[in-house]
């Protein structure tokens, strides 16, 4: 067998090598071969490595795992892991790598060193090292579980043991800004209307045509008629349409489409694709429907593109959809109700029972689904095998073969390309998943931040981990916290759990009291002493915050300095000084914690009131006390709390 490491130059030598590589080799056998995997996934050639036997063993498990799980893009992770390991083994062991296999006991330390060396090629927060290590562990475990395939015990222990690397930090995508999201929805409706107009005009033009043999192979109407009635194929266009130099100007302009140039060697292919786009929706058109359905339902791209005609049930005022989320293994039946059109917006124009043209952006899933059903009806009729999705398109392949099948965006028809074509400016990552987060943020806002309500189609842990980190929710959370803090701060400043102090020398004028908000009767009673409670006057002793409404206050005068109904006049200064002496005695008896709990607020308020008095006012009040003209009457309960 030829040496797989040699670079063969001649075609014959290369063919001999490929034939040798394609010979099937039993699992664990010696000899290189090409591993075949599903279309769309990068292949692996064990002959590229010295440790071809080790590569084949892992590749066997990889191929079977891909076939069993039907994974596509993620299969490349296992390809990378196998390639990185084989490169490391070749570099470390040199020529000795040719005999290495998963049955070797000495491979344990090599695998450990390889796993620990993975982060060297990536950023510190990258998730790739842990993902590749986990993928290789899975392949080794799978091989160890097979009864006819041998794996060294220490390698199996390594594969089933704890990971040696951290998972890294995955940067969560932020949601679209509200302006960006509105622009997306507006552009999506514009795209839908443009597609509808293009298809209607294409079929109307086709009805005016005839068979190109009877008409002309350079007539747009005749070519559309032939394709629409299946009388010609794109390959007939390749064979029967004359060269570009013989085309009329209107046909050349038609074939150019959005392209800037029309090359002679590709002119017929461009013409065939432009004709198909006038009759059937193509890949580029369905991005708009995905945007509208994600916005209207709030579900993922996978779910809104994964239901077929049988999963649609129209209701009198909405639609019920059966949504499938393969990643989580969930099947949901969800009803989406139509919204009431605002009075300041025009009503949608109806052109028939089966066709609705919307003149302004609406968040109604039923309207979007009706449009999608109608627009893809002809494609679905030509692809009866595709029943699991409404997202079907028509295309003309490079070999002029017409293709009707499931919608699969490619790089040149990606979501980013659609954004550029529609002129939508997006900052940051151009990923459709950000739209899902925008809808989840709106739902969180509507539910006032209740995770249990916002996380209605996944777990609360998933919402907290993937959706609660968005910029909008962080701003709203900050505003909520600031609002709550401001609320309690304002309440603390505006709290009326302390007395109202009326300062000033001499007698208090009744008009002055009325200016502060008291009624004439209340002001008269305060001045007359009818509402004197001992250390203050009370605005209404029957509306005490410490007693039931309608009952006489039961805590006066002990809590008057904490009451919003208390009014302290200049004449109350002697009683306030006596009450201060009472509290000072309590401070000597009670523990500091007990005094602060029972009398702390009264003590603070009392000192504040007394500090506002001038020394002359306090001296005059003391003379009244010494002359026996001021007495503080306290209930017996005021002395019982410290007798025990």
Q: Which tens digit of pLDDT belongs to each residue from 567-622?
A: 888 888 888 888 888 889 888 888 888 888 888 888 888 888 888 888 888 888 88
Confidence class of residue 329 from pLDDT cuts 50, 70 and 90? low
For residue 56, give the H/E element and its range.
helix 52-69
- pLDDT at residue 511 greater than cutoff 80: no
Biggest CA-to-CA distance, the chain: 131
> What was the pLDDT predicted at 348?
43
Confidence class of residue 68 from pLDDT cuts 50, 70 and 90? confident
> What was the pLDDT predicted at 634?
81
Q: Which two tokens stand for residue 586?
A: 């309590």
Distance CA 484, CA 489 (A): 8
Residue 542 DSSP symbol: T
* Mean pLDDT across 546-575: 83
Q: Is the distance from CB of 47 to CB of 32 less than 8 angstroms?
A: yes
Confidence class of residue 461 from pLDDT cuts 50, 70 and 90? low
Query: Half-sphere exposure of residue 504, counting CA atoms within 13 Å on the CB side?
Result: 8
- pLDDT at residue 37 greater than cutoff 50: no
Terminus-to-terminus CA distance in the chain, angstroms?
A: 105
Distance CA 405, CA 390 (A): 10
> What was the pLDDT predicted at 7?
36
For 98-115, letters b (16+ CB in 10 Å) and e give: bebbbeeeebbebbeebb
Q: Is the distance from CB of 420 to CB of 406 less than 8 angstroms?
A: no
């Amino acid at each position: 067998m030829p040496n797989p490491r040699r670079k063969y130059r001649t075609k014959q030598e290369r063919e001999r090598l490929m034939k040798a590589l394609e010979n099937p080799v039993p699992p664990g056998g010696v000899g290189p071969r090409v591993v075949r995997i599903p279309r769309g996934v990068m292949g692996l050639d064990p002959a590229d490595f010295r440790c071809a036997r080790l590569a084949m063993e892992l590749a066997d498990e990889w191929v079977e795992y891909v076939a069993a799980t039907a994974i596509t893009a993620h299969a490349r992770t296992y390809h990378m892991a196998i390639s990185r390991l084989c490169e490391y083994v070749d570099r470390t062991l040199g020529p000795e790598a040719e005999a290495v296999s998963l049955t070797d006991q000495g491979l344990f330390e090599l695998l450990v060193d390889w796993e620990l060396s993975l982060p060297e090629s990536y950023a510190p927060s990258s998730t790739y090292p842990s993902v590749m290590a986990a993928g290789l562990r899975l392949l080794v475990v799978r091989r160890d579980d097979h009864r006819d395939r041998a794996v060294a015990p220490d390698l199996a222990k390594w594969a089933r043991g704890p990971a040696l690397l951290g998972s890294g930090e995955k940067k969560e995508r932020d949601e679209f800004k509200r302006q960006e999201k509105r622009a997306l929805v507006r552009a999506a409706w514009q795209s839908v209307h443009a597609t509808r107009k293009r298809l209607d005009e294409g079929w109307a033009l086709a009805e005016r045509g005839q068979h190109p043999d009877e008409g002309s192979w350079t007539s747009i109407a005749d070519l559309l008629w032939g394709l629409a009635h299946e009388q010609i194929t794109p390959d007939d266009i390749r064979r029967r349409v004359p060269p570009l130099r013989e085309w009329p100007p209107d046909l050349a302009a038609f074939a150019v489409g959005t392209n800037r140039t029309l090359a002679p060697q590709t002119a017929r292919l461009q013409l065939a694709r432009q004709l198909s786009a006038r009759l059937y929706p193509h890949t580029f058109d369905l991005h708009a429907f995905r945007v509208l359905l994600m916005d209207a339902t709030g579900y993922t791209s996978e779910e809104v593109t994964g239901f077929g005609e049988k999963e649609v049930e129209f209701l009198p005022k909405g639609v019920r959809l059966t949504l499938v989320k393969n990643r989580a293994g969930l099947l949901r039946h969800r009803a989406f109700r139509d919204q009431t059109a605002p009075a300041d917006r025009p009503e949608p124009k109806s052109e028939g029972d089966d066709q609705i043209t919307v003149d302004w952006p609406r968040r109604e899933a039923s309207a979007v689904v009706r449009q999608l059903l109608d627009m893809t009806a002809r494609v679905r009729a030509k692809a009866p095998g595709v029943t699991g999705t409404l997202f079907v398109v028509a295309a003309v392949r490079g070999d002029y073969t017409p293709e009707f099948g499931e919608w699969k965006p490619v790089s040149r028809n990606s979501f980013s390309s659609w954004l550029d074509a529609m002129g939508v400016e997006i900052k940051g990552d151009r990923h459709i998943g950000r739209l899902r987060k925008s809808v989840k943020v709106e739902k969180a806002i509507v539910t006032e931040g209740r995770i249990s309500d916002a996380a209605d189609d996944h777990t609360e842990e998933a919402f907290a981990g993937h959706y609660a980190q968005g910029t909008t929710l962080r701003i709203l959370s900050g505003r909520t916290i600031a609002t709550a803090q401001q609320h309690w701060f304002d309440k603390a400043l505006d709290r009326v759990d302390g007395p109202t102090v009326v300062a000033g020398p001499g007698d208090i004028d009744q008009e002055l009291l009325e200016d502060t908000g008291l009624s004439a009767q209340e002001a008269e009673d305060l001045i007359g002493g009818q509402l004197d409670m001992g250390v203050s006057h009370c605005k209404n002793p029957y509306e005490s915050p410490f007693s039931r409404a309608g009952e006489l206050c039961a805590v006066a005068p002990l809590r008057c300095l904490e009451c919003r109904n208390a009014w302290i006049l200049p004449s109350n200064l002697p009683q306030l000084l006596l009450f201060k002496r009472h509290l000072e005695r309590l401070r000597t008896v009670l523990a500091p914690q007990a005094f602060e709990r029972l009398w702390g607020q009264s003590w603070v308020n009392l000192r504040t009131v007394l500090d506002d008095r001038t020394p002359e006012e306090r001296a005059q009040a003391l003379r009244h006390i010494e002359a026996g003209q001021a007495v503080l009457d306290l209930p017996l309960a005021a002395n019982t709390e410290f007798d025990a």
